[in-house]
Amino acid sequence: EVQLVESGGGLVQPGGSLRLSCAASGFTVSSNYMSWVRQAPGKGLEWVSVIYSGGSTYYADSVKGRFTISRDNSKNTLYLQMNSLRAEDTAVYYCARGGYCSSTSCPFDYWGQGTLVTVSS
Amino acid sequence: DIQMTQSPSTLSASVGDRVTITCRASQSISSWLAWYQQKPGKAPKLLIYKASSLESGVPSRFSGSGSGTEFTLTISSLQPDDFATYYCQQYNSYPGWTFGQGTKVEIK
């Protein structure tokens, strides 16, 4: 059974850092597109970052230069390092797996339960 | 970036109603469109991919159609478990997936 379990969220001051983890089971993280998607309180969904199976990484403009996506193949875990955090980064962060891929892209077929990041002084 | 616009933003309906939600893309995305259902405090759940393919385990009362820039999600007979928020998502433009703003289906 495919499962994604996020951890690492919490309260952090503006300008601070946080690292989110997403432990996967039932499949191999390094063989799939893996993304982070966030949802601010009461708002819609926003794609944040992706790491492709080949290791390439991409970011939304809103987080470029501040966030870093990575994975640990030995732990089958996805990470999101978040630096220089701002109030507008406050959101529930979900990790998601790309599935039913075309030759170039995928929707997200499995999602974690989410972890809340609150940026406030 | 490709913009996705859903309508309506809120929809009030009764159990048994036929419900249709529309999603429009700012440029052609072929059939690379997905639909998700999200309930309060829960993660989104994939319902439809490639515009009209039903995800395994999703009830057949859900269906999707469209291509190019206009898409629809239809629930043929609304059930109590279907009251939720629905999002469309394009995956034609990569990387840079974009979602619609959501449609909340409420009890009338």
Render pLDDT for B68-79 as a digit per residue (tens, 0 to 9).
Answer: 999 999 999 999
Interface test with B, best of A50, A52, A102 (most B CBs within 10 A): A102
Per-residue pLDDT tens over the stretch B75-107: 999 999 999 999 999 999 878 899 999 999 998
Distance from CA of A97 to the nearest CA of B (A): 11
In this prediction, residues B57-73 reach a mean pLDDT of 98
Biggest CA pair distance of chain B: 39
Q: B33 Cβ partners below 8 Å, 6+ apart?
A: B23, B25, B48, B50, B51, B64, B66, B71, B88, B89, B90, B91, B92
Check whether A103 has a pLDDT greater than 80.
Answer: no
* pLDDT confidence of residue B96: 83
- Statement: residue A67 has pLDDT above 80: yes
Q: Which two tokens stand for residue A34?
A: 């893996």
**Mean pLDDT in residue range A46-72:** 96
* B9 → chain A, closest CA residue: A44
Q: What percent of chain A has pLDDT over 70?
A: 100
pLDDT at A102 over 90: no
Q: Among A44, A106, A109, whose Cβ lies nearest the Cβ of B87?
A: A44
Chain A's closest residue to B35, CA to CA, is: A107
CA distances from B57 to A48, A85, B74, B104 (A): 28, 39, 17, 22
B97 in reach of chain A (CB within 8 A) = yes
Mean pLDDT, all residues of chain A: 96
B20-47 confidence digits (pLDDT tens): 999 999 999 999 999 999 999 999 999 9
Distant-in-sequence, close-in-space partners of B48: CB < 8 Å, separation ≥ 6: B33, B34, B35, B54, B55, B58, B62, B63, B64, B73
